[in-house]
Amino acid sequence: MKNLSINLKLILLVGLGLVFVGMVFVIETVSNSSIKKTNNENFAMMEQANRDYRDKALAAQERLDQIQDVLNSVQYARIAEKSYLQFYNPQYEQQLDKHVNHAMDILNKIDKNKSTETLTTTLQSYLQNFAKIINLHQQIEGLNTSIVDQFGTLKKLLRKSEAIIIANRFEKQMMGEELSPVEAHFGTMIAQSFRTVYFITSMRSQYLLTDDSAYIDALTKYFKSKMGGETASIRQSAKAQNEPVYLQTADAYKAAVYSAYDQTLATQKLFKQQKETSESLNEYGTVLTSTGNRLLKNISEQMNAEQIASIKTVDKAKENRIRSLASVQKTVALILVLALGTGGVISILLAIFIIRSITRPINTVISGLQKSADDVTSASGQMSVASQSLAEGASEQASSIEETSSSLEEMSSMTKQNAGNANHADKLMKEANQIVLKANDSMSDLTVSMEEISKASQDTSNIIKTIDEIAFQTNLL
């Protein structure tokens, strides 16, 4: 029964241990599951943040490329503009229209905001002002053509009049006469007219090339100081002679030079307007460049801000992961403490139960021993009484003992002699035993050696048999 009780207690102890191990396993499983779930949630958050940033970064990069394309188109348009203002070649006009329209098409595809609307409006104004420059240039070219045509007609009349004067001079010289003073003066005025036409053309050309108003001032001064007298003098000289060509030339000269002067002044006004418009183009170009660069900067800053936000999201996910892990670890630690405490309490209770189970039979044995000791004490008392009785008998026997003492001494000497002989015999037996043990060990070693020799003989026999087989096969071959 006692063994059965102890076995049951051991089974109970093992069962409690298994329960405790199961609790630890469950705690570890739950904690690992919680940690895995937390990691998955945080990884999903970080992955989503990375996807959002990647999508936004791609969209922002596309906008950067589009704005950069707009700025490149603006730069190409400015190059075409400068080339047109230098050479006035329609090819550059077409290039400018192409680049501006390309920039407008890109802006129409971009999401509208204040900067893109500014770019669109500025490009439209830029294109309108460039069209105005083209119109002004066409007007200037029209005035130039008109002046060239008028001066061309005038030069023909001047040459015709000059040819008549030369013919008349030759005819007079053939007759030994000279030209009349009036006709000679008219010839001088014709030569002066050529110089005046050249002067007007030169002043106008220099102004158009240099944009220096000093040439216009010199032309104005000449007209105010001399042109009235020249036209009146040539008209008077032509009228004094009965030659229709002279009068036609004088009238054409006056009309042409004054028309050229007026058209030169008109050209100056158009040229100033063209210059102002060109300056406005520079301003529009500056606005386009600054707005585009500002837009690029804003997009870059937005990309940086989104990157920082993405990094913060990832950092937040990491912090959440750390906090979650810390919380799980804290919970697991608390559960482990509770489990250990529960296990400790159970162990203490079980120890108390086992100790009580062990001490109970021990106490029973001690009680039995105590009872036996009391019985021995009682028997000792009885033996004491008997000893007194024996003492009395012993005193009576003392005399007889003295008598037998001498015989006992003789027996003692004989006993000692027998004891010595017995000790010598025991020593001899021990030596014989050692010899037998050594012989036994030698026999064991001999047996092992014989077994090894037998094994070696068997191996040798196998080798010889193999050699014989090889020799037999060799003979057969």
pLDDT for the residue numbered 361:
52
Q: Provide long-range contacts, Cβ within 8 A and 24+ apart, for 21-26.
A: 23/339, 24/336, 24/339
* Phi, psi angle pair for 179, to nearest 5°: -65, 150
Rg of the chain, C-alpha, whole Å: 70
> Residue for token digits 């020593």?
427
pLDDT at 347 over 80: no
- Map residue 113 onto helix, strand or coil: coil
CA distances for 372 relative to 318, 363, 369, 379, angstroms? 79, 14, 5, 10
Count CA atoms within 13 Å of residue 142 on its CB side. Answer: 8
Count CA atoms within 13 Å of residue 395 on its CB side. Answer: 5
Distance CA 477, CA 471 (A): 10
List pLDDT tens digits, range 452-465: 888 888 888 888 88
Distance CA 252, CA 244 (A): 12
**What's the chain's length in residues?**
477
List pLDDT tens digits, range 170-228: 999 999 999 999 999 999 999 999 999 999 999 999 999 998 999 999 999 999 999 99
For residue 208, give every residue at least 6 positions away whose Cβ sits within 8 Å of its Cβ, in sequence order, or none.
Answer: 140, 267, 271
CA distances for 77 relative to 85, 130, 206, 292, 361, angstroms? 12, 10, 29, 15, 114
Instruction: Tell me the DSSP string of 261-299.
Output: HHHHHHHHHHHHHHHHHHHHHHHHHHHHHHHHHHHHHHH
Q: Residue 190 belongs to what H/E stretch?
A: helix 181-210
Distance CA 158, CA 451 (A): 154
List pLDDT tens digits, range 108-124: 998 888 889 999 999 99
List pLDDT tens digits, range 410-451: 766 776 787 778 778 778 878 877 887 887 787 888 888 888
In the structure, what pLDDT confidence band is assigned to residue 161 with cuts at 50, 70 and 90?
A: very high
* Phi, psi angle pair for 193, to nearest 5°: -65, -40
Cβ atoms 313, 49 nearer than 8 A? yes
Tokens of 332: 């697991």
pLDDT for the residue numbered 377:
47
Give the residue ranges of DSSP H helices in 211-243: 213-222, 228-240
| Average pLDDT taken over every residue of the chain | 81
Distance CA 66, CA 54 (A): 18
List pLDDT tens digits, range 116-147: 999 999 999 999 999 999 999 999 999 999 99
Assign 3-state DSSP to the chain and report helix, strand, coil percentages, each to 5: 95, 0, 5
More confident residue, 32 or 431: 431
pTM, two decimals, is: 0.58
Pick the closest to residue 315 from 50, 25, 21 (CA basis). 50
pLDDT for the residue numbered 287:
94
pLDDT for the residue numbered 384:
47
pLDDT for the residue numbered 77:
95
Cβ atoms 295, 115 nearer than 8 A? yes
List pLDDT tens digits, range 35-65: 677 667 766 776 777 787 788 888 889 989 9
Pick the closest to residue 346 from 1, 2, 18, 56 (CA basis). 18
CA distances for 352 relative to 91, 226, 243, 302, angstroms? 111, 143, 159, 73
Distance CA 449, CA 455 (A): 10
- Map residue 111 onto helix, strand or coil: coil
Cβ atoms 218, 227 nearer than 8 A? no
Whole-number percent of the chain with pLDDT over 90:
45
Distance CA 49, CA 298 (A): 22
Q: How far out from the chain centre does Cα 412 lie?
A: 113
Distance CA 58, CA 301 (A): 14
